[in-house]
Amino acid sequence: MPHARTDAGAEFGPDFRHDLDRLFALRRDVRRFRTDPIDADLLETILHRAESSPSVGNSQPWRWVEVRSPRRRGQIRENFARCNSDALDGYAGERARLYAGLKLAGLDDAPVHLAVFTEHELPQGHGLGRATMPETLDYSTVAAVTSLWLAARSHGVGLGWLSILDAAAAHRTLEVPDTWSLTAYLCLGYPKTTTDVPELERVGWQERTDPKARRFSR
């Protein structure tokens, strides 16, 4: 089979594609971390890789905030606990039992916490591509998070995306500009275990469904 070739002439052979497939498979949402620290140079490398992500109008609207303060981390932990309790109240029966048994955050063990914000009022990009779809700024930040995720995993670092948070309260806790909106709260660290099966599938919360059910043509 011929190698895939880009316009720039770079070649990616079958060994690379095999490794890339494995990277995609092992890019799981990690909740169970070891407490080993992540070397500062490695974290910088991972963040640098994420900076190569595409963005609408080349606006680069993502803002990375490393949360180091124990006080602020504690407030984020309390925020999660409140929201998680409220979410549990929304379930009943077996589904409530399953939910109560899920480990939905790695806040206590992950050595690195990253709050990722999107800047919504920025001159960079000169508004290109976002006049009709301003949400593309948020999509650009999500693309950067995905790049960060893959870069981290390629170095053996796991990432967990925490979404059970009151975003407005997190914004106040971290004291960031009003023009920033929270896109993701990420926990990074070395995973206790590695698997290519999503945890929610393993515990019976939700199995994967047929990809063909999500493909359409017009």
What mean pLDDT comes out for the span 101-105?
86
Q: Do 192 and 103 contact (CB within 8 A), yes or no? A: no
Nearest 5°: phi and psi at 172?
-70, -40
Task: Give strand ranges (E) for the chain.
Answer: 4-5, 11-12, 62-66, 112-119, 158-162, 180-189
User: With 0-12 CB in 10 A as exposed, 13-18 as middle and 19+ as buried, what is 51?
Assistant: middle
Segments forming the whole domain that contains residue 50? 29-192
**CATH code, domain carrying 71:** 3.40.109.10
Q: What share of the chain in percent tops pLDDT 90? A: 86
What mean pLDDT comes out for the span 1-21?
77
**pTM score over 0.85:** yes
Residues 49-61 have pLDDT tens digits of: 999 999 999 999 9
Tell me whether residue 99 is in a domain.
yes
Tell me whether residue 175 is in a domain.
yes
Tell me whether residue 9 is in a domain.
no
Count of the separate structural domains present in the chain: 1
Residues 124-171 have pLDDT tens digits of: 999 999 999 999 999 999 999 999 999 999 999 999 999 999 999 999
Tell me whether residue 12 is in a domain.
no
Tell me whether residue 33 is in a domain.
yes
Tell me whether residue 127 is in a domain.
yes
Q: Which of 187, 189, 143, 167 is nearest to 36 (CA)?
A: 189
Tell me whether residue 45 is in a domain.
yes
Tokens 């963040």 appear where?
47
Instruction: Give yes or no for residue 18 having a pLDDT over 70.
Output: yes
Tell me whether residue 64 is in a domain.
yes
Number of residues assigned to the chain: 218
How many C-beta atoms lie closer than 10 Å to residue 92's C-beta? 9
What mean pLDDT comes out for the span 76-83?
96
